[in-house]
Structure 1
Amino acid sequence: MRIALTSLSVDDQDKAERFYVDMLGFVVKHSVPMGPMRYLTVVSPADPDGVELSLEPGGQRAEVATFQAWMRQQGIPAIAFHVDDVDVEHHRLSDQGVVFTQPPAPMGPIRAAVLDDTCGNLIMLYSNPATAA
């Protein structure tokens, strides 16, 4: 058993696609029309056959929006992405206008930062300085 697909509720799939592709650098794997929505997944260009992230159109539903708001108020990221160097990514993304709610900081054996995906979620970026080459 392995994880092949995970999902994230977003308040707007088009906005989410622009953010996750144009800002974070993922690539679209699937974009299948399903009425007013899409089955929309993105993957890392470094691992196009790896785990897919489904950008689910759930953020418009009241119960999903309530859950997202609670997670944000608590400062809890909805998902975490590994990067080679969180400080480099923080600088690159900040220069592109990405808003971070937490700058890079040590968290036990990792360094992590938290950003706002503009679609209802907080996202953690982390790296392991001990294994960085």
Structure 2
Amino acid sequence: MRIALTSVFVDDQKAALRFYTDVLGFVEHRNVPLGEHSWLTVVSPESPDGPELLLEPAGHPAVQPYRDALMADGIPLAQFAVADVHAEHARLTAQGVVFTQPPTDVGMAVVAVLDDTCGNLVQLIAEKPAG
């Protein structure tokens, strides 16, 4: 068993695609029109055959209260691994990305949390080498 697809809820798929590709650096993988929305996924350029991230329309009535609660509590909806949180924080801050938590050493890793402009908080994590 392996993870092939996971999703984040987004308010606007086109805006989300721009943020996740132009700002974060993911690559568009699938864009299949399905009426008003699309089956729209991105992948890491480091792993183009790896797990896909579905930019899922946030239209279901349960989504907004769920995301509002996560945002109010500062809980990220997704987590992305990076080699260097400090470097990514500097790169993304220079592009105008808002961080709700700056790079923070949490013992086994360094983390930071950003607002994806699409209704979600996203955590960046760089695990420290064991030992």
TM-score bin (small chain): over 0.9
Per-residue CA deviation, residues 18-58 of structure 1 (Å, 9 max, x unaligned), is 10000000000000000010000000001100010000002
Unaligned runs of 5+ in 1: none
Task: Report the equivalent of 1:108.
Answer: 107
Amino acid at match of 1:33: P
Unaligned runs of 5+ in 2: none
SS of structure 2 residue aligned to 1:31: strand
Task: Report the equivalent of 2:36.
Answer: 36
Is structure 2 residue 10 aligned with structure 1 residue 10?
A: yes
Task: Report the equivalent of 2:62.
Answer: 63
With the length of structure 1 as denominator, give the TM-score of the two structures: 0.94
Aligned length: 130
CA distance in 2, matches of 1:17, 1:130: 33
Task: Report the equivalent of 1:54.
Answer: 54
Is structure 2 residue 75 aligned with structure 1 residue 80?
A: no
Contact 1:85–1:129 (8 Å) recurs in 2:
no
Task: Report the equivalent of 2:123.
Answer: 124
Contact 1:4–1:51 (8 Å) recurs in 2:
yes
With the length of structure 2 as denominator, give the TM-score of the two structures: 0.96
Quote the offset at 1:124 in angstroms. Answer: 0.1
SS of structure 2 residue aligned to 1:84: coil
Contact 1:80–1:126 (8 Å) recurs in 2:
yes
SS of structure 2 residue aligned to 1:46: coil
Quote the offset at 1:63 in angstroms. Answer: 2.0
User: What is the percentage of aligned positions where both structures have the same residue?
Assistant: 54
Task: Report the equivalent of 1:94.
Answer: 93
Amino acid at match of 1:62: P
SS of structure 2 residue aligned to 1:45: coil
